Amino acid sequence: MTAPILIFDSGVGGLSVVGALRTRLPGAPLAYVCDNAALPYGTKPDDWLVARIVAVCRAAVAASGARALVVACNTASTLALKALRENLSIPVIGTVPAIKPAAHASRSGVFGLLATSATVSRPYTQRLIAEFAPDCTVVRLAADRLVAQAERVLTGMPWDDAVITASLAPLWEASRLDTVVLGCTHFPLLREALVRHAPRDIVWVDSGDAIARRVAQVVFPAWHDTSESDASWASAAQQAGLARTLAGYGFSAPYSLALPATVSTF
């Protein structure tokens, strides 16, 4: 059996990257792991998060026999990539907010960064803005409540219009804003809702295809197409609707991820 590419996220947001990976790397075996017992990541302390992310990813890599790890989580990537690369012997591909393509896409030079509290305030994010959008006005907006909305949608529940409206409202105060970076992998799963609640035409930019291109560069395509479902793991595998959601993206029902006894849920 060919070793899979493992996609990791705090919840089901990383599934927004799976479609791009399947398009870019048809036939590649994938595996998925979510640390949904600790969701959401964006509101947790940095030191605790780094330790938790490393522990979850080490356990998932061991369980899946993965050949590469895709950290399909902006919060985890802006915080823990260095620690993951120091603790794992396989390639680790991270996710960062799509600041550079947004700067190119915006005609007005005013664009939004919609992300979690952790991502919008991270020094790494500020460095991306300074390097790739120095002449742009970037409206940074923490929208942690949208993570739960995306989880609701993927488990078959409707989104809450009031939450979507309130979460986006500060963006529209910038009248020239014409582009929004979806700086959390959960947010592309809400694209229909986001478009519906925008007061004007907006270019929505995410990192899915860029991640898939990078994975294709790093992982040599030595596999054969298979009709078998790809495997998945979760730290709370019995969560209602999770198995159905994962099945919709070609994954089998999740196994319970075994973590060391020293790893706690915040």
By annotation, the residues acting in catalysis are 73, 184
- Torsion sign, CA atoms 251, 252, 254, 259: negative
What number of other Cβ atoms are within 10 A of residue 184's Cβ? 35
Cα within 13 Å of Cα(35), Cβ side: 30
What number of other Cβ atoms are within 10 A of residue 232's Cβ? 29
Within 43-177, residue ranges assigned H as helices are: 46-64, 74-87, 99-105, 117-121, 123-132, 145-154, 161-168
Which H or E run contains 192? helix 191-197
| CA dist., res. 39 & res. 246, Å (int) | 17
CA distances from 13 to 134, 189, 259 (A): 29, 7, 21
